[in-house]
């Protein structure tokens, strides 16, 4: 029995050695496999990186200098009309902005002073435009991305006679803003594009400011309307108020006059903006041939007057400045002061008072 056990020991030792060699072989194989995998993945990453570099190198560029803000002379924006579904396709809306001296003016679809801030915001955004990637190389994709001639927003910016930038903007989605370039077939994604800067309607491109002044410098306010005439004068840091009913008679102190009401009036006019315009309407159409109310604001020796006519949209009123031809529409929040009754400037009575 002892002899038999002694004879079996080398067999057990031999089997253990074989298993050890097998494990070593498997370990070496695993290391080789891991090395091969890492080498393959590295090659893939390298190829991908090189492909990206090649793709980026072949993309067109939008090189708009910061100087565009000072050197631009004309901007033309054509965008599709917002036609109702099923309606006939309307011609695109075309807005042309031209720089005259230091000011931008709207020359198409009508002639008017432009909103300087809105034009400057657009120009400031142009140097930030960058082409990020190309998602199609075929013109057949234009309709899919709203880049066909009847769907795209066409933007052209000039420096003198030279085109500084031209592009067509289409849909904006998860990948970004799509665009196409003239003479370059394909659909691109661009960074830095803010659609609201380019999609304003005519009113958005016009200067809507009517009045702007510092209330602290106002020394006198006069109001004339169908109720009578008001005269307000600054006395120290308070206002005095006088009123005469109708056209006859003399001005007399307003009973229970509340000085702060004049301050409220001035707040409504200190940065007065039009809510719209009376384009195509005559003075007689708007009641401005015979104004229904007049508001005069005096600062030192300078007087600024606003004339008011009949009702426009809703409760707003048509208005104009005596020296200008532009007809505005003014919200009731401001225009109601020009049509005020005496009670609007009086202290409110307590409910218990007669």
Domain ranges for the chain, please list them. 68-81+92-205, 215-345
pLDDT at 171: 94
pLDDT in tens, 228-261: 999 999 999 999 999 999 887 899 999 999 999 9
Tell me if 149 sits within 8 A of 89, measured CB to CB. no
| Angle in degrees, CA 137, 59, 164, rounded to 5 | 105
Say which residues have a Cβ less than 8 Å from residue 55's Cβ, sequence separation at least 6.
133, 134
Under the banding of pLDDT at 50, 70 and 90, the label for residue 19 is confident
pLDDT at 246: 86
pLDDT in tens, 168-223: 999 998 889 999 999 889 999 999 999 999 999 999 999 999 999 999 999 999 99
Averaged pLDDT, 92-105: 95
pLDDT at 11: 47
Averaged pLDDT, 317-335: 96
pLDDT, greater one: 84 or 322: 322
Averaged pLDDT, 126-150: 94
Specify the DSSP class assigned to residue 146.
T
What is the CATH topology of the domain spanning 215-345?
Immunoglobulin-like (2.60.40)
Residue 48 has pLDDT above 80, yes or no: no
pLDDT in tens, 20-47: 777 777 777 777 777 677 676 665 554 3
Q: Is 94 helix (H, G, I), strand (E, B) or coil?
A: strand
> What mean pLDDT value characterizes the chain?
88
Under the banding of pLDDT at 50, 70 and 90, the label for residue 315 is very high
Q: What is the CA radius of gyration of the chain?
A: 38
pLDDT at 219: 97
pLDDT at 9: 47
pLDDT at 41: 67
Percent of the chain's residues with pLDDT above 70: 86
Sheet holding 112-113, edge to edge: 112-113, 103-108, 93-100, 74-79, 153-159, 162-173, 176-181, 184-191, 130-136
Among 19, 23, 26, 121, smallest CA distance to 69 is for: 121
Percent of the chain's residues with pLDDT above 90: 73
Say which residues have a Cβ less than 8 Å from residue 265's Cβ, sequence separation at least 6.
221, 337
Q: What are phi and psi of 210, to 5 degrees?
A: -110, -50
CA–CA gap between residue 307 and residue 317 (Å, rounded) = 10
CA–CA gap between residue 147 and residue 135 (Å, rounded) = 13
Structure tokens at 354: 């007669």
pLDDT, greater one: 59 or 71: 71
CA–CA gap between residue 116 and residue 103 (Å, rounded) = 7
| Angle in degrees, CA 202, 97, 190, rounded to 5 | 85
pLDDT at 254: 97
pLDDT at 83: 53
Averaged pLDDT, 312-316: 92
Extended strands (E) in 125-216: 130-136, 153-159, 162-173, 176-181, 184-191
pLDDT at 289: 97
């Amino acid at each position: 029995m002892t002899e038999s056990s002694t004879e079996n020991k080398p067999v057990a030792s031999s089997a253990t050695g074989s298993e050890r060699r097998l494990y070593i072989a498997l370990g070496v194989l695993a290391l080789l496999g891991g090395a091969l995998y890492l080498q393959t993945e590295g090659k893939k990453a390298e190829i991908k990186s090189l492909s990206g570099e090649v793709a980026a190198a072949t993309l067109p560029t939008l090189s708009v200098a910061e100087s565009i803000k000072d050197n631009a002379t004309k901007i033309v924006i054509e965008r599709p009309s917002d036609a109702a579904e099923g309606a006939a396709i309307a011609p695109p809306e075309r807005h042309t902005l031209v720089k005259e001296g230091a000011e931008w003016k709207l020359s198409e679809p009508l002639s008017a002073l432009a909103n300087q801030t809105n034009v400057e915001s657009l120009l400031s955004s142009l140097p930030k435009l960058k082409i990020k990637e190309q998602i199609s190389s075929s013109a057949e994709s234009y309709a899919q991305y709203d880049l066909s001639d009847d769907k795209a927003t066409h933007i052209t910016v000039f420096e003198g006679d030279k085109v500084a930038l031209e592009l067509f903007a289409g849909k904006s989605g998860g990948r970004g803003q799509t665009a196409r370039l003239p003479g370059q077939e394909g659909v691109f994604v661009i960074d830095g594009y803010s659609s609201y800067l380019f999609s304003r309607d005519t009113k958005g491109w016009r200067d809507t400011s009517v009045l702007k002044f510092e209330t602290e410098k106002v020394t006198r306010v006069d109001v004339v309307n169908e109720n009578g005439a008001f005269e307000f004068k600054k006395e120290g840091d308070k206002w005095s108020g006088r009123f005469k009913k109708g056209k006859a008679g003399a001005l007399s102190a307003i009973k229970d006059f509340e000085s702060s009401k004049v301050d409220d009036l001035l707040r409504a006019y200190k940065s007065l903006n039009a809510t719209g315009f009376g384009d195509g309407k005559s003075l007689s159409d708007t009641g401005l041939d015979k104004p229904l109310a007049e508001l005069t604001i005096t600062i030192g020796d300078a007087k600024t007057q606003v004339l008011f006519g009949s009702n426009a949209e809703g409760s707003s009123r048509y208005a104009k400045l005596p020296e200008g031809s532009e007809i505005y529409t003014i919200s009731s929040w401001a225009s109601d002061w020009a049509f005020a009754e005496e009670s609007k400037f009086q202290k409110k009575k307590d409910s218990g008072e007669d």
